[in-house]
């Protein structure tokens, strides 16, 4: 394992760390070298912890989490990542802060940052607002640093916005790299990002958009499948098409689920709300129109029901490459007969892939920790080697 750790550190050392002092908001704003570095650093951190070596590179400091939507996996992944590096986690509860009394975003951002090293934000409920909010926080921190108010600037990590979910898709990609041997082994493979039926509505667009925005950079054959009308943000689709041409891969959209799954190496069936619906939903949420939201939900559930056959079942999986495509999901999945009467995936298929799905989720804490580490330290390879040489035990006894 030491040989593998040294090999990973050599790869990290061979790249310029373009993330130092930077936020991680969108995967497509980061170079491929940056993305590979995050994965290598995540793997080193995982190996160190598995060898009972402490990864604490901060003696003190806060990691502030702000979740403006519900979360289980990402909330605990952020807390685990911060704790792994030696940071204490403080949740910014808007109901218990002065935000509820009209405190500005700029003021809040500065007030929580005096001794903070990282700020994780999830803001995916309002289309056109989540990513913009993160940029507003970033601008406030930049100004405070220029003016000497903050001695150092914490890194912002996007824990899901209306546009992208980089910690999820980077964990997905690390999972694929381990399953198929490496990221380079994914070139030419067919991955399907498909809509799937759900008995609920209003699921964000950021996961499918994030998958398209990342996988089209790797020379893969990327297929987006959804019923008519279940569109994503147009600018993200334009970017995906352009990136696929640049990477030597391909990108296409289809409304034929069987066509999409045929011969696929990887499938990612997940529900999302149509782009047009999310626009309407955002307007109603901002207006506080409860009746309008209730009417929209009824309308959308009726539309969803027209496509209840868009589910990942055994017959569909049998049409993938050798009937053995890798099934992905960001979790929680709507499992037919388990979490709902009918949903995104049949229970038999989900159970077959449950263990790899949990491994997929298990990469997220290390990905988040790597993002924080690469932002706060100029030379991550030297830091990781120092942690390995020091070999301070994580568990004492």
Taking only the tens place, the pLDDT of each residue in 318-331 is 999 999 999 999 99
Contact predicate 215/191, CB 8 Å: yes
Indicate the pLDDT class of residue 1, thresholds 50, 70 and 90: low
Cis status of the peptide bond prior to 85, with omega within 30 of 0: no
Q: How far apart are CA 28 and CA 50, in angstroms?
A: 31
Q: How far apart are CA 27 and CA 33, in angstroms?
A: 11
β-pair type (155-161, 116-123)? parallel
Q: How far apart are CA 347 and CA 336, in angstroms?
A: 6
Report the share of the chain in percent with pLDDT over 90: 93
pLDDT at 105 over 80: yes
Q: Which domains does the chain have, with CATH numbers?
A: 2-164+364-390 (3.40.50.1370), 167-360 (3.40.50.1370)
- Give mean pLDDT, residues 23-39: 98
User: Rounded to whole angstroms, what are the CA distances from 114 to 62, 117, 119?
Assistant: 9, 9, 12
- The closest alpha carbon to 154, from 108, 117, 120, belongs to 117
Query: What are the pLDDT digits (tens) for 138-169?
Result: 999 999 999 999 999 999 999 999 999 999 99
Beta bridge partners of 253: 224
Query: What are the pLDDT digits (tens) for 162-182?
Result: 999 999 999 999 999 999 999
Of the CA atoms within 13 Å of residue 145, those in its CB half-sphere come to: 15
pLDDT at 385 over 80: yes
Indicate the pLDDT class of residue 336, thresholds 50, 70 and 90: very high
- Give mean pLDDT, residues 175-195: 98
What residue spans of the chain are helical by DSSP H? Answer: 2-13, 32-50, 73-85, 105-111, 130-146, 166-180, 206-215, 234-247, 257-261, 275-287, 290-305, 314-317, 347-352, 354-362, 364-376, 380-390
Beta bridge partners of 345: 312, 335
Residue labelled with tokens 């491994």: 359
- Give mean pLDDT, residues 361-386: 98
What pLDDT, on the 0 to 100 scale, is given for residue 140?
A: 97
User: Rounded to whole angstroms, what are the CA distances from 109 to 66, 68, 105, 188?
Assistant: 11, 15, 6, 43
What pLDDT, on the 0 to 100 scale, is given for residue 397?
A: 75
What pLDDT, on the 0 to 100 scale, is given for residue 23?
A: 98
Q: pTM above the 0.75 mark? A: yes
What pLDDT, on the 0 to 100 scale, is given for residue 103?
A: 85
What pLDDT, on the 0 to 100 scale, is given for residue 232?
A: 98
- Give mean pLDDT, residues 178-192: 98
Q: Which residues contact 371 (CB under 8 A, 6 or more apart)?
A: 19, 24, 38, 155, 157, 167, 170
Q: Which residues contact 244 (CB under 8 A, 6 or more apart)?
A: 216, 222, 250, 251
Q: Lowest mean pLDDT: which of 86-100, 106-120, 333-347?
A: 86-100
Q: How far apart are CA 286 and CA 69, in angstroms?
A: 15
Distance, first Cα to last Cα, the chain: 22
Query: What are the pLDDT digits (tens) for 222-236?
Result: 999 999 999 999 999
Query: What are the pLDDT digits (tens) for 64-95?
Result: 999 998 899 999 999 999 999 999 999 998 77
Query: What are the pLDDT digits (tens) for 206-260?
Result: 999 999 999 999 999 999 999 999 999 999 999 999 999 999 999 999 999 999 9
């Amino acid at each position: 394992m030491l040989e593998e750790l040294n090999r990973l550190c050599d790869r990290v050392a061979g790249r310029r760390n373009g993330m130092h002092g930077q936020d991680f908001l969108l995967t497509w704003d980061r170079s491929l070298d940056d993305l590979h570095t995050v994965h290598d650093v995540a793997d080193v951190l995982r190996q160190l912890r598995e060898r009972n070596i402490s990864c604490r590179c901060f003696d003190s400091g806060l990691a502030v989490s702000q979740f403006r939507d519900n979360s289980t996996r990402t909330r605990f992944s952020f807390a685990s990542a911060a704790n792994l590096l030696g940071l204490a986690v403080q949740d910014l509860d808007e109901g218990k802060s002065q935000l509820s009394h009209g405190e500005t975003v700029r003021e809040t951002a500065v007030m929580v940052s005096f001794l903070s090293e990282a700020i994780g934000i999830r803001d995916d409920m309002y289309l056109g607002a989540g990513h913009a909010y993160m940029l507003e926080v970033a601008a406030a921190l930049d100004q405070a640093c220029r003016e000497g108010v903050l001695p150092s600037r914490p890194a912002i990590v996007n824990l899901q916005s209306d546009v992208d979910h980089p910690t999820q898709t980077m964990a997905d990609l690390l999972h694929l790299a381990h399953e198929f041997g490496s990221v380079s082994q994914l070139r030419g493979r067919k991955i399907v990002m498909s809509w799937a039926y759900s008995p609920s509505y209003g699921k964000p667009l950021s996961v499918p958009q994030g998958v398209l925005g990342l996988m089209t950079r790797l020379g893969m054959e990327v297929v987006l499948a959804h019923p008519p009308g279940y569109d994503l943000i147009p600018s993200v689709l334009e970017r995906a098409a352009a990136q696929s041409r640049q990477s030597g891969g391909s990108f296409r959209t289809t409304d034929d689920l069987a066509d999409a799954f045929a011969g696929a190496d990887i499938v990612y069936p997940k529900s999302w709300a149509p782009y047009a619906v999310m626009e309407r939903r955002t307007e109603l949420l901002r207006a506080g129109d409860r009746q309008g939201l209730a009417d929209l939900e009824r309308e959308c559930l009726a539309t969803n029901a027209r496509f209840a056959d868009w589910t990942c079942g055994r017959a569909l999986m049998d049409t993938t490459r050798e009937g053995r495509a890798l099934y992905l999901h960001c979790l929680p999945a709507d499992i037919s007969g388990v979490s709902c009467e009918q949903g995104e995936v049949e229970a038999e298929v989900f159970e077959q892939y449950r263990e790899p799905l949990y491994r997929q989720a298990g990469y997220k804490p290390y990905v988040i920790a790597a993002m924080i580490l690469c932002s706060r330290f100029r030379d991550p390879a030297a830091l990781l080697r120092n942690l390995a040489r020091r070999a301070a035990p994580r568990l004492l006894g």
